[in-house]
Amino acid sequence: MTGQAPEPPRPAGTVYGRGGADARQPRPGLLTRTPPAVTALVCAAVVAVLAAAYGVWRATTGEPEPPAPVVAPAQLSAAPSSPAPARLAAGSWLLSPLDDPETHLTSANGFAALAPDERMVLVAGPGLADPACFSFRGPDGRYLRHFDYRLRFDGTEDSDLFRNDATFCPQPGLPAGTVWLSSKNYPNHLIHRRGTDLYIDEPDGSEAFTADSSFQVQPAF
């Protein structure tokens, strides 16, 4: 309207009212007014107080600490196992039945026999008829051989029959650690004890035959 003075322009960016704060600037708070170093110290103190309070709470409630992980000590090792049974090879040996290591193969009137508390050393060497097998000599140089199926000790003969009769081939016996000895020229026959005498016999499939054909070999020291 005419005759009235115009209103003065309002300042840009301000809000009229209490305090006249500028709307474009944030209102400073506590942290924005506090130096950064002081803020960091305050935060660390708060964390320490919370940790202490948690420890006191656990102690008063009796809640157990979680168990530490179990770590097997590296220095512990398995208990030593018993020595492995001897394996027949060239050398000096004692031959014993499966169930009596104090009884050994020996010579009785020229025949092979089993006798307690006697230690006749047999020298095993490459088989006379097959070097992959073995021939056995007694202390007097005579060879263990079969004759009419019975085992005995004879002096050397230059014949194929003697060389085959005096050659025996080892096979893993039962139980493990024992040995079966089959005849070279009768491969389906094993050295088998009949009482205290020794023969080559054909297995009959019985447990008794298996036990009586299984021998332990012990190095002769």
Q: What is the pLDDT of residue 197?
A: 97
Q: What is the pLDDT of residue 188?
A: 97
- Report which residue type is found at 29: G
Q: What is the pLDDT of residue 61?
A: 53
Give the long-range contacts of residues 132-135, CB within 8 A, separation 24 or more: 132/169, 133/167, 133/168, 133/169, 133/170, 133/184, 134/88, 134/90, 134/167, 134/168, 134/169, 134/170, 134/181, 135/166, 135/167, 135/168
CA-CA distance, 115 to 119, in Å (whole number)?
9
Q: What is the pLDDT of residue 66?
A: 47
Closest to 105 measured CA to CA, from 146, 140, 152, 148: 152
pLDDT digits (tens, 9 = 90+) for 17-62: 343 444 444 445 444 455 555 555 555 555 565 555 555 555 555 5
Cβ contacts of 98 within 8 Å, gap of 6 or more: 173, 175, 178, 211, 212, 214, 215, 216
Q: With a cut of 70, list the residues of the chain below it in pLDDT.
A: 1-86
Q: What is the pLDDT of residue 16?
A: 37
Q: What is the pLDDT of residue 87?
A: 81
